[in-house]
């Protein structure tokens, strides 16, 4: 696991830990990124905690509920943490003051490896049911997807910067792909921040606006123009994907980018605005 991935997960976790508690309607959520060396996770982020005993606890692989999830690379749940015989009780001194019962530990994975852990817990006698577990798993999958996209965006930005130093026209293609990838990020604040990073890269490299790539029209990239022209012709997302050799979700991402740039409310509105501005025929 790279240091960049761990640092990025650490940055994303405070908001996600807070959202996880709200979405799953539990009493306590917490988590942390993988430590250097990969043998442990340090709890850094908490929401709903009664005190600070869990903060900075270092959960070692194979030890405790989270250590078991870290070792097995899968979620692990117990109905009563302090009395369960199936885990090593190395962290009871930190857990007991929080008065939790049912606890679920979920690994956050990236490319098959564990990048960190998140937990959710209840303080009453009720178990964490299947619906809660499913919501938690979906939230972690969203986090994993956003983490992968953000790291890919950063990698492409670095590549784009190097390419732009050689040929500024190459930057247009790179940033077009990046903007489509950014639109797949679920978290709104992360999307806005990544768009700002793209604009900052443009300003740094060119000193002005986006380099005009061949086929670009106004604020739209060549690929965005192609997608919007197919929409104007009545094609579905699946038809556009097949025609242009893209995934349907990538087509959706391009359309979201187009609507953001044009200030459109929907795809029909985007076509009308583009035609009015003579961005498409």
Q: What is the CA radius of gyration of the chain?
A: 23
Sorted by where each starts, the structural domains of the chain and their CATH numbers stand as 3-128 (3.30.450.40), 149-276 (1.10.10.10)
d(CA 102, CA 88): 16
Helices 237-244 and 248-262, axial angle in degrees (round to 10):
110
d(CA 46, CA 43): 8
* DSSP conformational letter for 34: B
d(CA 142, CA 16): 10
Q: Kindly report the CA angle at 4 between 121 and 209, in degrees rounded to 5?
A: 115
Q: Which of 8, 115, 19, 97 is CA-nearest to residue 57? A: 97
Q: What is the structure's pLDDT at 110? A: 92
Lowest mean pLDDT among 168-172, 180-184, 193-197, 240-244: 168-172
Q: What is the structure's pLDDT at 155? A: 77
pLDDT (tens digit per residue) in 3-22 = 888 999 999 999 999 999 99
By three-state DSSP, how is residue 264 classified? coil
Bridge pairing between strands 40-42 and 58-60: antiparallel
Q: What is the structure's pLDDT at 172? A: 56
pLDDT (tens digit per residue) in 145-178 = 988 888 887 777 666 555 554 555 555 556 666 7
For 160, phi then psi, to 5°, come to -65, -35
CB-based contact 174:216 (threshold 8 Å): no
CB-based contact 240:251 (threshold 8 Å): yes
Q: What is the structure's pLDDT at 211? A: 44
Cα separations in angstroms, 36 against 7, 33, 72, 106, 209? 11, 9, 19, 19, 40
Phi-psi region of 111 (alpha: psi -120 to 50; beta: other; left: phi over 0): left
Tell whether pTM > 0.85. Answer: no
The kind and range of the H/E element at 50 are: none
Computed over every residue of the chain, the mean pLDDT equals 84
By three-state DSSP, how is residue 77 classified? strand
CB-based contact 79:65 (threshold 8 Å): no
CB-based contact 54:46 (threshold 8 Å): yes
């Amino acid at each position: 696991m790279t240091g960049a991935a761990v640092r990025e997960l650490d940055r994303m976790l405070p908001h996600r830990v807070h959202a996880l508690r709200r979405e799953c309607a539990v009493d306590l959520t917490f988590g942390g990124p993988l430590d250097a060396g990969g043998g442990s996770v340090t709890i850094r982020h908490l929401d709903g905690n009664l005190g600070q005993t869990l903060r900075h606890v270092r959960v070692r692989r194979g030890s405790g509920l989270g250590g078991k999830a870290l070792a097995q690379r899968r979620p692990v749940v117990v109905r009563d943490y302090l009395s369960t015989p199936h885990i090593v009780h190395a962290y009871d001194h930190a857990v007991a003051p929080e008065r939790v019962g049912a606890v679920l530990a979920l690994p956050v994975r990236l490319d098959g490896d564990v990048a960190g852990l998140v937990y959710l817990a209840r303080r009453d006698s009720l178990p964490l049911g299947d619906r809660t577990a499913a919501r938690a798993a979906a939230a972690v999958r969203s986090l994993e997807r956003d983490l992968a996209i953000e790291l890919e965006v950063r990698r492409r930005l670095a590549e784009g910067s190097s390419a732009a130093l050689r040929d500024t026209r190459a930057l247009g293609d790179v940033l077009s792909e990046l903007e489509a990838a950014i639109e797949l990020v679920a978290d709104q604040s992360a999307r806005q921040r990544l768009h700002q990073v793209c604009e900052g890269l443009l300003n740094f490299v060119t000193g002005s606006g986006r380099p005009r790539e061949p086929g670009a029209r106004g604020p739209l990239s060549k690929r965005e123009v192609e997608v919007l022209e197919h929409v104007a012709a009545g094609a579905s997302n699946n038809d556009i994907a097949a025609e242009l050799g893209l995934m349907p979700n990538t087509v959706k991402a391009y359309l979201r980018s187009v609507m953001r740039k044009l200030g459109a409310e929907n795809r029909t509105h985007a076509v009308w605005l583009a035609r009015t501005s003579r961005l498409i025929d």
